[in-house]
A and B are shown apart, each in its own frame.
Chain A
Amino acid sequence: MEIIIPTINLASIYPEIVVTIFAVIVLLLHAFTPHHSPGGAGKGGDHLGYISFIGIAYATFLVFTQEGGTEYSFNGLWILDNYSRFFRLIFLLGTGLTILISVKYVKDEGINHGEYYSLILFATVGMMIMGGGADLITIFLGLELMSISLYVLAGYTRNRLTSNESSLKYFLLGSFATGFLLYGIALLYGATGTTNLKGISGFISESNFGNPILIMGMVLLVVGFGFKIASVPFHMWTPDVYEGAPSPITAFMSAGPKAAAFAAFARVFFEGLPSLQGVWVDLIWILAVLTMTVGNVIALVQNNIKRMLAYSSIAHAGYVLVAFVSANELGIGGILYYMLAYTFMNIGAFGIIIVVGGKGEKRVNVDDYTGLAYRHPVAAATMSLFLFSLAGIPPTAGFMGKFYIFSAAIKSGYIGLAIIGVINSVVSVYYYLRITVAMYMKEPESAVSGAESMPSLVFSTAMIIAMVIAAYGVLRMGIFPSAYIALAQQSHLSF
């Protein structure tokens, strides 16, 4: 028996290794810090957060310095190309911003544990593995690492009932969706005899692709990934989970893991199943329309701002699915560009939500934003910027992202889809601007009813840095988009 030693190319996974090592360091540092009572652990310093941030910064540096080109390693399990590089940057950016907006939050809530940051970092490793997996098994491993960390993080404020509900719901539905995905992988393996994406596409193009097992496997993969990206009709978990989870974790979940699911989704379908495009394009067309419409329409009537942004997040997944349907180079570039823009604007909006929410997340309704501009003009202006971007109003990143996506759809001849998308975008303006209207055009509540006035907002240094980065990103990508578009164009998958 010959033992095949796999081709090990450690250089291609340096960023993953670095993030893993930092996750372990943070975990052990906390374990070796003396803490006498269970509650005392929450009183630690900020150093755990900053160490995690250094790890993320270092990994980002490594991604930038990695050599270009496309390279398979670990016997075809792993791929390093511009596509996975771009997505890694999105994940690292999302994680970095999440850590910055968490630093004060975790102290306020008494959850300043090493495990909190460690789990965020492990989830990031999982996302990066999803972005770089060239085999269904690698992608699945990454997905599980990411999901299991998120199940725990969603319930991290364990004294809050909604957080427990969020965690349990996410866990039960998430494992169910994982089951679908795994079943799809099993059927694809049964039909093609391999889990390698290149192998699958090679097998399908050589033989007949009317095999019902193959189609069934593909549909189950759509269900599995559709759950992770929160597309309708697999979106039912999203509002409850996003509402109940700690706000920084909601921000994190809506950016990185969603991008990771899209990364894996697009890679599996464009590299593994391009021959079945005629089948899946129609399927995803329907998903895109449903996702945009249901997300936007239900968001109209939400009063809890986290819940509103959860539905908004569903709607944004719908826009990205439009780019997915276009299935041209512009479309893939659109997915990349949009996910990057969405990371900036959504984590930015959640930063302000955390600050306004205050200790215990008490002020999370739209009414709590009434008259914010009179008391905290900077916070209101920043929030408005992110909301404008989410609504897709120039000169912000959100506008360019939508422009990019809808032009991709038109270029591929999906004019109807683009029209539905634009109409949806108009609908969404209502609920985003509702918050801006509350902030700018209504008197503060205390002036009207003499009720308890809003306590002053406390921005920590880390939060200010995060907000500056997010606001800069939103404006920069909106006003000077060409560099980012070029980067996204370079990073599209080869067809």
Chain B
Amino acid sequence: MSEYIPVLIMLLLGAGTAVGILVATTLIGPKKSFADKMEPFECGEHPIVSPKLRFSVKFYLVAIFFVIFDIEAVFLYPWAVLFKRLGIFGFIEMMIFLVILAVGLIYVWKRGALEWE
């Protein structure tokens, strides 16, 4: 069970930070309320609008590309750290991985998904 204690500490720290910030802002923050401020916060959007709002599918495309290539970068970090120990095997594996992702990049590029207009 002892190996779980750090997890428990993390959990308590996380919860403590969240609660602490809430308590601290309630106690020491200035309290000026006006109409806009009392609205639920939704990342800068108006919370109450017609649900039939249309927005461009391009946003989704960009978000998906971001996720794909972001993950590529995340996979490269541990490889870079262990580069010497993984040796030629790791190098070839990573090159295969990168080629597969490059194919994806070529595909989205040629299909015009990177063009905004």
* B residues less than 8 Å from A3 (CB atoms): 82, 85-86
Q: Which residue of chain B is the closest to A33 with respect to CB atoms?
A: B110
Instruction: Decide yes or no whether A420 CB sits under 8 A from chain B.
Output: no
* B residues less than 8 Å from A27 (CB atoms): 103, 107
Instruction: Decide yes or no whether A28 CB sits under 8 A from chain B.
Output: yes
Which residues from 27 to 53 on chain A have a C-beta closer than 8 Å to any C-beta of chain B? 27-28, 31-32
Q: Which residue of chain B is the closest to A32 with respect to CB atoms?
A: B110
Instruction: Decide yes or no whether B106 CB sits under 8 A from chain A.
Output: yes
> Do B89 and A31 touch across chains, with their CB atoms under 8 A apart?
no
Q: Which residue of chain B is the closest to A20 with respect to CB atoms?
A: B100
> Do A31 and B106 touch across chains, with their CB atoms under 8 A apart?
yes
Instruction: Decide yes or no whether A5 CB sits under 8 A from chain B.
Output: yes
Instruction: Decide yes or no whether B111 CB sits under 8 A from chain A.
Output: yes
Once bound together, how far apart are the Cα atoms of A28 and B106, in whole Å? 8
Once bound together, how far apart are the Cα atoms of A31 and B112, in whole Å? 9
Q: How many A residues have CB within 8 A of the partner chain?
A: 7
> Do A5 and B89 touch across chains, with their CB atoms under 8 A apart?
yes
> Do A28 and B103 touch across chains, with their CB atoms under 8 A apart?
yes
* B residues less than 8 Å from A24 (CB atoms): 103
Count of A-B contacts with CB under 8 A? 16
* B residues less than 8 Å from A32 (CB atoms): 110
Q: Shortest Cβ distance from A133 into chain B, in angstroms?
A: 20
Q: Shortest Cβ distance from B87 into chain A, in angstroms?
A: 9
> Do A31 and B110 touch across chains, with their CB atoms under 8 A apart?
yes
Which of A5, A27, A31 has its CB near the most chain B CB atoms (within 10 A)?
A31
Q: Shortest Cβ distance from A74 into chain B, in angstroms?
A: 13
Once bound together, how far apart are the Cα atoms of A464 and B9, in whole Å? 68
Q: How would residues 1 to 16 of chain A score, 1 for a CB under 8 Å from any chain B CB and 0 otherwise?
A: 0010100000000000
* A residues less than 8 Å from B86 (CB atoms): 3
Which residues from 76 to 117 on chain B have a C-beta closer than 8 Å to any C-beta of chain A? 82, 85-86, 89, 103, 106-107, 110-111
* A residues less than 8 Å from B111 (CB atoms): 31
Once bound together, how far apart are the Cα atoms of A3 and B93, in whole Å? 14
Once bound together, how far apart are the Cα atoms of A28 and B89, in whole Å? 28
* A residues less than 8 Å from B103 (CB atoms): 24, 27-28
* A residues less than 8 Å from B107 (CB atoms): 27-28, 31
Once bound together, how far apart are the Cα atoms of A5 and B93, in whole Å? 11
Q: Which residue of chain B is the closest to A31 with respect to CB atoms?
A: B110
* A residues less than 8 Å from B85 (CB atoms): 3
Q: Shortest Cβ distance from A145 into chain B, in angstroms?
A: 13
* B residues less than 8 Å from A5 (CB atoms): 89
* B residues less than 8 Å from A28 (CB atoms): 103, 106-107, 110
Once bound together, how far apart are the Cα atoms of A23 and B94, in whole Å? 21
Q: Shortest Cβ distance from B48 into chain A, in angstroms?
A: 26
* B residues less than 8 Å from A31 (CB atoms): 106-107, 110-111
Once bound together, how far apart are the Cα atoms of A3 and B78, in whole Å? 13
Once bound together, how far apart are the Cα atoms of A5 and B103, in whole Å? 26
Q: Shortest Cβ distance from A7 into chain B, in angstroms?
A: 12
Q: Shortest Cβ distance from A119 into chain B, in angstroms?
A: 13
Q: Shortest Cβ distance from B109 into chain A, in angstroms?
A: 8
Q: Shortest Cβ distance from A257 into chain B, in angstroms?
A: 24
Q: Shortest Cβ distance from B98 into chain A, in angstroms?
A: 14
Q: Which residue of chain B is the closest to A30 with respect to CB atoms?
A: B111
Q: Which residue of chain B is the closest to A5 with respect to CB atoms?
A: B89
Which residues from 277 to 305 on chain A have a C-beta closer than 8 Å to any C-beta of chain B? none
Which A residues are closer than 8 A to B by beta carbons? Answer: 3, 5, 24, 27-28, 31-32
11 A-B pairs (CB sep. < 8 Å): A3-B82, A3-B85, A3-B86, A24-B103, A27-B103, A28-B106, A28-B107, A28-B110, A31-B107, A31-B110, A31-B111
Q: Please name the 10 residue pairs, one residue from A and one from B, whose CB atoms are nearest each other, closest first.
A: A31-B110, A31-B107, A31-B111, A24-B103, A5-B89, A3-B85, A27-B107, A32-B110, A28-B107, A3-B86
Given A3-B85, A5-B89, A28-B106; 4 other pairs, CB 8 A cutoff: A24-B103, A27-B103, A28-B103, A32-B110
